[in-house]
Amino acid sequence: MQLRYAFRLDPGPGQRVALARAFGCARVVYNDAVAARERARREGAAFPSAGALSKTLITEAKRSPGRQWLSEVSAVILQQALRDVE
């Protein structure tokens, strides 16, 4: 027997903002990782490792003035975006 459940989420205004921020940050990291892999492919180099991408696209990006807003979300979300690229 298989059971099926349907759920509907109705986030409040604060939750909507938090979800939008999390999804936006994940999308930026994902797109940056895809761009880095495409750049490596064009140059004939090996794909950057997950550790190298994590260091440059998350850790160092959080310290840069243009990407400090990545610190506003959990690092788990950003790491998952890198795993999704792989």
Written as tens digits, the pLDDT of the chain (86 aa) is 788 899 888 999 999 999 999 999 999 999 999 999 999 999 999 888 889 999 999 999 999 999 999 999 999 999 999 999 98
Residue 36 has a pLDDT of 94
- Measured CA to CA, the distance from residue 63 to residue 55 in angstroms comes to 11
The pTM of the full predicted model, rounded to 2 decimals, is: 0.84
Residue 47 has a pLDDT of 86
Residue 1 has a pLDDT of 77
Distances (CA, A) of 59 to 15, 17, 19, 84: 25, 23, 21, 18
Residue 3 has a pLDDT of 87
Report whether 20 contacts 41 (CB < 8 A): no
